[in-house]
Amino acid sequence: DGGITQSPKYLFRKEGQNVTLSCEQNLNHDAMYWYRQDPGQGLRLIYYSQIVNDFQKGDIAEGYSVSREKKESFPLTVTSAQKNPTAFYLCASSIWQHNEKLFFGSGTQLSVL
């Protein structure tokens, strides 16, 4: 089955710790995205990548970092600089950079210990 796989499903972060959320897709999509979802809020864009080895900041990039070394993979690191990291994180992809239709993974719930 083609799709987007996010892991882990649940993740806990200690104070001062960096954690990395995995996102892998086998849809052969060019563009990939990371969104943050807080209860009762819409989706907010953290980072996006339109092609390999290139990425841009979204609306709330502070405290996060990404890499795009392979077309299939777009990991998100939540750094210790992100003071309020507890949220549901969604990875998505689209066929190419000018296509607005998003395909989402099942998300990772990050909580602070």
Binding site for another protein (CB under 8 A): 4, 6, 31, 33, 40-45, 48, 50, 56, 58, 90, 92, 94, 97-107
Report the residue number, 17 or 99, with the smaller CB distance to another protein. 99
Q: 3-state SS of 10-66?
A: EEEECCCCCEEEEEEECCCCCEEEEEEECCCCCEEEEEEEEECCEEEECCCCCCEEE
Report the residue number, 15 or 100, with the smaller CB distance to another protein. 100
Report the residue number, 16 or 42, with the smaller CB distance to another protein. 42
